[in-house]
Structure 1
Amino acid sequence: MDTSIVADSSIITYYAPYKAKLETEMNRVIGYADHYITRNRNAPESLMGNFFADALLWKGKQLDPDVQASFATKDGIRADLHAGNVTVGNIFEVMPFENAVCILTLSGGDMLRLADYMVKTGGQPVGGMELVIENGKAKEFLIQGKPIAPDALYKLVTYDYLANGGDYITFFDNPIARKDYNQLLRETLMEYVSDLAKQEKHVQVKLDGRVQIIK
């Protein structure tokens, strides 16, 4: 294709209204970020990972008040959020996939397998959990501030891609229970930002030590 090919004006006329409508929606402002929210695949914790996991935990507790923690992966987060207005398009860049929210009931043993995965991968985005890694092992692993009990059950919110074994995850292979929702992960992020805006709050994220690596 080159400049010798003339655009079909009838086709342009047909799709132009849809293109304009899409651009209007993508540019719609849903909130405001006080600072640049960045990813960092080489760090155990990142601003973007905390934002992502906190939004997921927020929605999980709405869907099921017994949810205690959230889990995502670094590779699932595809963009940063720049300081300033947050638009629908920005959230599409962060999560371009059609992943949907999923709540799992896991044994304490499977939660410990989750901790082992985080140790091997140098940390992952989580909410409601704290993990300290030392000398290649989990030195401390807490959920809602308490140590994991191998014989207890835990409710965790994640998304279907991971629950189905994506990103080489095996510790979700035998949950005590699983409930899938039609709630898209992307919609969850939008709702989280919009809810903050309704409360006249901005998106503010900090590193809080939820995942630490001690050399």
Structure 2
Amino acid sequence: MRRLFLSICAVFILFSCSRYLTVSQVNTKNTSVEFQNSSIDSLAESMVKPYRDSIKQDMSKIVGVTATALVKGKPDSKLTNLVSDILLKCANDYCAEKHLNISPDIAYVNYGGLRASLPQGEITVGHIFELMPFENEIVLVKISGESILKMAERIAGRGGEGVSGLKLGIRNEKVGTLTIGGKPVDPAASYWVVTNDYIANGGDQMSMFITPLDKIETKIKIRDILIRSLNEMFRRDGVIDVKEDGRIYNEQ
């Protein structure tokens, strides 16, 4: 037993006195992976192909035809106007269907939430997925007029974003003129805002939405309502022609 104890002590002393190892050299190389250098797994291909073909068919479905390309821009643009208008209409329809005694006042779409433009001509389901790749849902938030003013200040500081039901004049990155439904915003009043769940939870520095007076989660995906609304517009009116109306503008 004494011999075993001495042996263990010797091992500990040996390792405690050893020097730390350091890396003296690192050798790396790139290994290219090219499709033509590998054979196709026929079994895997037979399993994947039906799903790939089905998705491709779904993504290529035409939901509408536009007169011009819809590109986002600031202070407002055809794309931001279209999406925010659709959100506001959807929210009003939702409230009517659910028999809610609510009439949403404005819609707000954050600029960064729109990830692509829509081309002139045929708009497919795939284009909408590129525009709205996230699973964001429509949320109705009731906030005070004071919070509306804070929201407008944030929009003005960013040079504009997507709104509907609201008219904003920006002067030196500040709010110059602000009206909702043609009337000045009352700081003491309350307003219903339609937006996405990311913003409703205070995302994109929109902290004024974190503690609302009331909140309704519709569980309606924005991407789905865009597809449905554009298809309805196309069937009803033909070619979709979106106009810029100066709802956000720069004051002199």
> TM over 0.5: same fold?
yes
Query: Who is 1:11 aligned against?
Result: 44
Is it true that 1:52 corresponds to 2:52 in the alignment?
no
**From 177, 180, 183, the counterpart of 1:140:** 177
TM-score under structure 1 length normalisation:
0.95
Query: Who is 1:118 aligned against?
Result: 155
Tell me the CA shift for residue 151 of structure 1.
Answer: 1.4
Query: Who is 1:78 aligned against?
Result: 115
Which ranges of structure 2 fall in alignment gaps of 5 or more residues?
1-32, 97-102
Report Cα offsets for 1:101-127 as digits up to 9, x if no partner: 100011111111111111111111000
Query: Who is 1:62 aligned against?
Result: 93
CA contact (8 A) 2:118 2:127 kept: yes
Query: Who is 1:20 aligned against?
Result: 53
Within 1, Cα distance between the matches of 2:37 and 2:250? 59
Please tell me the residue identity of whatever aligns with 1:187: D
CA contact (8 A) 1:35 1:204 kept: yes
C-alpha root-mean-square deviation of aligned residues, in Å? 1.3
Tell me the CA shift for residue 137 of structure 1.
Answer: 2.5
Give the structure with the larger helix fraction: 2
What secondary structure is seen at the aligned counterpart in 1 of 2:147? helix
Within 2, Cα distance between the matches of 1:68 and 1:16? 47
Within 1, Cα distance between the matches of 2:115 and 2:151? 22
Tell me the CA shift for residue 145 of structure 1.
Answer: 1.2
Within 2, Cα distance between the matches of 1:160 and 1:179? 10
**From 223, 233, 238, the counterpart of 1:196:** 233
**Percent identity between the two aligned chains:** 31
Higher deviation after alignment, 178-187 or 3-12 = 3-12
Report Cα offsets for 1:189-209 as digits up to 9, x if no partner: 111101112313332211111
CA contact (8 A) 2:159 2:173 kept: no
Tell me the CA shift for residue 89 of structure 1.
Answer: 0.6
What secondary structure is seen at the aligned counterpart in 2 of 1:37? coil
Within 1, Cα distance between the matches of 2:238 and 2:90? 17
CA contact (8 A) 2:84 2:107 kept: yes
Higher deviation after alignment, 198-207 or 54-63 = 198-207
**From 92, 95, 98, the counterpart of 2:129:** 92
Within 1, Cα distance between the matches of 2:174 and 2:112? 22
Higher deviation after alignment, 135-144 or 52-61 = 135-144
CA contact (8 A) 2:158 2:173 kept: no
Give the number of aligned pairs. 213
Listed as ranges, the matches of 1:164-203 within 5 Å are: 164-203=201-240
CA contact (8 A) 1:58 1:192 kept: no
Higher deviation after alignment, 93-102 or 133-142 = 133-142
Please tell me the residue identity of whatever aligns with 1:49: T
Please tell me the residue identity of whatever aligns with 1:208: D
Greater gyration radius:
2
Within 2, Cα distance between the matches of 1:117 and 1:39? 18
Within 1, Cα distance between the matches of 2:156 and 2:68? 29
